[in-house]
């Protein structure tokens, strides 16, 4: 999500995690300029990760990693220094919807660094959840040792069946 002016309270001095106080009135919030971007996820096991980038950091990232984007050109567009008849030169989505591209980038950064991306890990989590259940107090019931041993399965890749394309015709049926 976008972080608006006045919502970012800096980093917690003991943990280094960003702190926020979000404006609840949507009209008041939308009237304030965007100063940064926030992405957050939490796994079912309780692991959480929050990532915050300032708008300037996002601008620098886009300028370095997108050949179709220039931070200087974006500043000129925002300042109204680019005539409307020249806007066709700025067709990158970074120019068209900077906030949407920034959100996508935040999610990609968050998932690529701290997300589970392996199929094996996803399958292991599903297998574990069959044996270990949470009780009402948030604790775990059962242990991995109680689970039956399951051999990993190789993916089955089926080949399409090849059939003879020529049909047999009985002359007596004609």
Give the Cα separation of 70 and 173 in Å (integer): 74
The yes-or-no verdict on residue 122 having pLDDT over 80 is no
| Mean of pLDDT values over 152-167 | 52
Span of 103-112, 123-132, 161-170 with lowest mean pLDDT: 161-170
In this prediction, residue 91 carries a pLDDT of 85
Could you read off the pLDDT of 9-50 as tens digits, one per residue?
999 999 888 999 999 999 999 999 999 999 998 888 888 899
Task: Choose the most confident range, by mean pLDDT, from 65-69, 125-129, 137-141, 159-163.
Answer: 65-69
Give the Cα separation of 95 and 77 in Å (integer): 8
Q: For the whole prediction, is pTM greater than 0.75? A: no
| Mean of pLDDT values over 46-71 | 92
Burial string for 73-109 (b: 16+ CB within 10 Å, else e) reads bbeebeeeebeeeeeeebebebbeebeebbbebbbeb
Regarding predicted confidence, which is higher, 169 or 38? 38
Question: What residues does each domain of the chain span?
Answer: 2-118
**Cβ 2 vs Cβ 16: under 8 Å:** no
| Mean of pLDDT values over 66-95 | 90
In this prediction, residue 124 carries a pLDDT of 67
Regarding predicted confidence, which is higher, 159 or 27? 27
């Amino acid at each position: 999500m976008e972080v608006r002016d006045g919502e970012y309270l800096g980093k917690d001095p003991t943990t280094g995690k960003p702190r926020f106080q979000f404006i609840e009135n949507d009209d008041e919030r939308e009237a304030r300029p965007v100063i940064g971007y926030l992405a957050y996820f939490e796994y079912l096991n309780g692991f959480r990760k929050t990532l915050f980038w300032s708008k300037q950091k996002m601008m620098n990232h886009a300028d370095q990693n997108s050949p179709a984007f220039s931070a200087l050109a974006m500043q000129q567009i925002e300042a109204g220094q680019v005539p409307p008849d020249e806007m066709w030169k700025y067709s990158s989505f970074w120019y068209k919807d900077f906030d949407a591209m920034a959100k996508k980038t935040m999610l990609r950064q968050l998932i690529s660094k701290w997300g589970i991306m392996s199929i094996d890990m996803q399958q292991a989590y599903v297998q574990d959840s069959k044996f270990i259940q949470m009780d009402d107090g948030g604790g775990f019931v059962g242990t991995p040792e109680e689970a039956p041993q399951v051999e990993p399965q190789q993916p089955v890749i089926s080949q399409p069946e090849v059939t003879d394309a020529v049909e047999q015709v009985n002359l007596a049926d004609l």
